[in-house]
Amino acid sequence: MVRLTAVLGDITEQHVDAIVNAANTAMRGGGGVDGAIHRAGGPGILRDCVERFPDGLATGDAGWTAAGELPARWVIHTVGPNWRAGQRERSLLESCYRRALEVADELGARTVAFPLISAGFYGWPLEDAIEAAVDTVLASEAGVEEAGIAARDDVVHGLVEAAIRARGVRADQRRRD
């Protein structure tokens, strides 16, 4: 079973095997988490995206690139559903977490940091985004030993911790940079 933690901090500063990027279908960088990861990791991530994903990536799927200048070894890119554009099937959001963990297994990653996929610019309702993340990661049979859900502010961090605790799992309260 994956050990799930709530992490207060910037996902680009996480010292884990792989960080998960909330990418767009074009796989050419963007705003929000995607833009932050590309800026912090440098141009090598974009070059890798262009080479590995010439036709982009489908919503709910995941793939990987090297992490460039990030402290992680890999970036696992996943395309979340865009609530504002009418993509409201929760199964697509759950698929992002499931596929990211499957890719982590393929890579041999033991530690992974996730953002709250689709909860930013794509407008997925925050509490449901948290529930989908927590439930899907905890149900995974992946070989990943530890997964963190990174939140940049105390309010969201507290909501993630509460969701983990509500499922009978101790929420780790440490800050990881």
Q: Is 61 a catalytic residue?
A: no
33 in Cβ contact with 21 (< 8 Å):
yes
CA nearest to 146, candidates 109, 100, 95, 115: 109
Q: Which of 34, 48, 105, 172 is catalytic?
A: 34
137 in Cβ contact with 2 (< 8 Å):
yes
9 in Cβ contact with 152 (< 8 Å):
yes
Could you give the CA distance from residue 67 to residue 81 in angstroms, rounded to a whole number? 23
110 φψ region: left (φ > 0), alpha (ψ -120 to 50), beta (else): alpha
**Active site (catalytic) residues:** 34
